[in-house]
Amino acid sequence: MTRLIEICQKKIDAQGFVLIQNLSSDFDYQTFVRHWGSLMPQYDQNLQWNVQVKTGITDAKCSLGSVEVPPHTEYYEGESNPPHYLALWCIHPASCGGGKIAFADGYRFLETLSVEEKKYLYQAKYIYRSEIGLRKINVDIAHPHCILTKNSSGKDIFRFNTTGMEAGDLTFIHEFRRKFLNFYEMNRHELYQPENSLLIWDNYRMVHARSSSFTDEKRHLVRLWIKESKAKLKTYSRK
């Protein structure tokens, strides 16, 4: 299993994400993803979150709806650092073929900016607020953050939300958002996550979206937030 972890890490280093397919339905994904760090509580304080359509908010642009979700990084609005890695385990994909997930490499985008622009991203704070779908289930969090910060190891954390991010200098943020969305359209990688597959990505680096809506309301993924990266990989063992 250590070999599988090494292959996954190489893929994540190279492209920011990895999709592991054809796993057995009883694959212990919770233990597996802990090789990347400890699990972080979700909005309801549980260590895993069901990404499923919730009656009454199907049009919400979040994990509980069935419509497209615009590009964002995960948990941008939290007070603490967002999860370093995200994992999605697919129990039941949308049989209609929708519910695709798209990624764009935020670090690559940052390389396209001038030194002055990048410097500004570490200085100007914006208010990041929970998406409206979450507010419908009484999750309403808002905190100010710079678009770029660093974690304790000096790694860049890129926070992005297409519909949030408000502050005084809106001219800059409107232009920044336009530039990023243009980059996203030109460079996004879209995938369909099949049953019994595990998707892991670097949330400090990658911006993700649900790039297509779906009609199969049985679609069911499980989401895990992984707090911090570990320098060394440990030997995998089943529970």
Which CA distances in Å does 205 have to 14, 31, 85, 115?
12, 23, 9, 18
Q: What are phi and psi of 118, to 5 degrees?
A: -65, -40
Looking at the Cβ atoms of 48 and 118, the one nearer to Fe ion is: 48
How far, in Å, CA of 24 to CA of 204, rounded? 29
Which CA distances in Å does 121 have to 40, 106, 112, 124, 168?
26, 13, 13, 6, 14
Q: How far is residue 56 CA from its own chain's centroid?
A: 24
Tell me how crowded residue 217 is: count the other CB atoms within 10 A of its CB. Answer: 14
Looking at the Cβ atoms of 74 and 77, the one nearer to Fe ion is: 74
Give the single-character DSSP code of 120.
Answer: H
How far, in Å, CA of 184 to CA of 18, rounded? 18
Looking at the Cβ atoms of 63 and 196, the one nearer to Fe ion is: 63
What is the number of the residue whose Cβ is closest to Fe ion?
Answer: 74
Looking at the Cβ atoms of 103 and 109, the one nearer to Fe ion is: 103
Looking at the Cβ atoms of 74 and 105, the one nearer to Fe ion is: 74
Minimum CB distance to Fe ion, residue 2 (Å): 29
174: left (phi over 0), alpha (psi -120 to 50) or beta: alpha
Minimum CB distance to Fe ion, residue 192 (Å): 17
Which parts of this chain interact with Fe ion (CB under 5 A)? Answer: 74
Minimum CB distance to Fe ion, residue 172 (Å): 24
Minimum CB distance to Fe ion, residue 165 (Å): 15
Minimum CB distance to Fe ion, residue 74 (Å): 5
